[in-house]
Structure 1
Amino acid sequence: MSYQTLKRAVTARLEIKKSDFIAYAYPVHSREQAMFHVEQLREKYADARHYCWAYIIGDPDNTTSAGFDDDGEPSGTAGRPILNVLQHKSIGNVIIIVVRYFGGIKLGAGGLTRAYAGSAQAAVDQMILSPYVAMSRVQILAEFATEAQCRYVVESLNGRIDEVAYSKQVTLTVTLAEADIETLKERLAMDGRVLKET
């Protein structure tokens, strides 16, 4: 599973035949998060004519969740072209929303399709992308004497320690790349520590 994700939100603006197209791209991890951004822009640009969008949650080549909306534009002229740009560029966990202010000149179906695809591309051109890394949360049970060694192993794998609980043993809840879980198990197994995924 190799694809790119957006590091931070970006915006781009195009003017086509007096219509303003304002494209926003946000990193998202759920449909609810994506729809939150749509509603925010509806409030921010309350006088705009259309709020067309497309999102992809997960891998754009084998997505578990994708969606788009033409928001009153002719069917297939807005949301689908935005989605196509995201799929073509292999960008996942992202939504692009294009806010349109109508300038009085009709663009026709072909013109609209090019305008929305162009707006999405303009947003993509502003993006700083990074490779997606699947993360997992695990718990490590350790003796007090080996806690420092556990911390060292987690940090050496670029993991993050989220929580530490002390009782008869130490329980470290950590987040790290899924690909590194087997390595973590191997490094911790030598000292008899138990690992379980949460």
Structure 2
Amino acid sequence: MQRIAQPGRAEQTINKSRFIGAAEACADEREVMALFRRLAAEHPSAHHLAFAYRLKTPQGLLQRCHDAGEPSGTAGKPILQHLEGKDLVNACIAVVRYYGGINLGTGGLARAYGNTARMALEAARLEPYVEMAKLRLTVDYGRWEPLAREVERLGGRVLDKDFGQRVTVLAVAPLAEAAALRERYGDG
């Protein structure tokens, strides 16, 4: 599996219709909807905003696509195929269309949406997906900085810290490393 490490944008014009693609990482449906609202605000006079997304959830893989008023299967599905083809998770691709007055036909629409999605993905930077786990660890003050450095070295990050009699740290780290971190630093 892969994820989008850096967003990508692409644009093309086909028979006077302008297609703008955006590929971004989205951790959940709330972030997906925020992306759609942002694109709709950036392009208030656009005719269509088609999309597809794939999210890894505790219940499994959630994927959705939407044709945004285009003929069934001509917009959302071609976009989704690129997410599936790259085995992307926690990713969304949206394609905005400004209608240029010339009908593209169902095949032309599917190619236009699919190619714009592909171009947006090519402009993005992808990296392997690493499943993360949340950890709450309580350590003595002398072990706080080594813990923070190790979490960062593993590709995780400290989300919150509370300095009381001891330091309570909320962090995310790769799931494969979570047990070892708990063993080394305790679990509070």
Q: Is the TM value for this pair above 0.5? A: yes
Aligned partner of 2:75: which letter? A
1:180 Cα offset (Å): 0.3
1:35-114 alignment runs, 5 A limit: 35-58=33-56, 64-114=61-111
* Closer/same/farther in 2, CA of residues 63 and 25 from structure 1, 3 Å limit: farther
Rounded to whole Å, the distance in 2 between the matches of 1:125 and 1:4 is 13
* Cα-to-partner distance string for 1:158-179 (whole Å, 9 max, x where unaligned): 5433433344443233321111
* Closer/same/farther in 2, CA of residues 182 and 109 from structure 1, 3 Å limit: same
* Cα-to-partner distance string for 1:102-121 (whole Å, 9 max, x where unaligned): 22221111111111111111
Rounded to whole Å, the distance in 1 between the matches of 2:33 and 2:46 is 17
When structure 1 is superposed on structure 2, of 50-59 and 152-161 the one drifting more is 152-161
Contact 1:153 1:187 in 2 (8 A): no
Could you tell me which residue of structure 2 aligns to residue 191 of structure 1? none
* Cα-to-partner distance string for 1:93-152 (whole Å, 9 max, x where unaligned): 111111111222211111111111111111111111111122222122334555555456
Of 139, 160, 163, the match for 2:160: 163
Regions of 4+ moved over 6 Å: none
1:182 Cα offset (Å): 1.8
Contact 1:56 1:63 in 2 (8 A): no
1:133 aligns with 2:125: no
* Closer/same/farther in 2, CA of residues 172 and 31 from structure 1, 3 Å limit: closer
Aligned partner of 1:49: which letter? H
TM-score between both structures, scaled by the size of structure 2? 0.86
1:75 Cα offset (Å): 0.5
Rounded to whole Å, the distance in 1 between the matches of 2:143 and 2:38 is 48
Give the CA RMSD over aligned residues: 2.4
* Closer/same/farther in 2, CA of residues 163 and 103 from structure 1, 3 Å limit: closer
Contact 2:137 2:182 in 1 (8 A): no
* Cα-to-partner distance string for 1:44-94 (whole Å, 9 max, x where unaligned): 2222211111111128xx953211111110001100110011101111211
Rounded to whole Å, the distance in 2 between the matches of 1:107 and 1:177 is 46
* Closer/same/farther in 2, CA of residues 106 and 63 from structure 1, 3 Å limit: farther
Contact 1:52 1:70 in 2 (8 A): yes
1:8 Cα offset (Å): 2.3
When structure 1 is superposed on structure 2, of 4-13 and 170-179 the one drifting more is 170-179
Rounded to whole Å, the distance in 1 between the matches of 2:154 and 2:79 is 37
Rounded to whole Å, the distance in 2 between the matches of 1:166 and 1:148 is 12
Aligned partner of 1:195: which letter? D
Structure 2 residue runs of 5 or longer lacking an equivalent are none
When structure 1 is superposed on structure 2, of 83-92 and 139-148 the one drifting more is 139-148
1:5 Cα offset (Å): 1.1
Contact 2:95 2:113 in 1 (8 A): yes
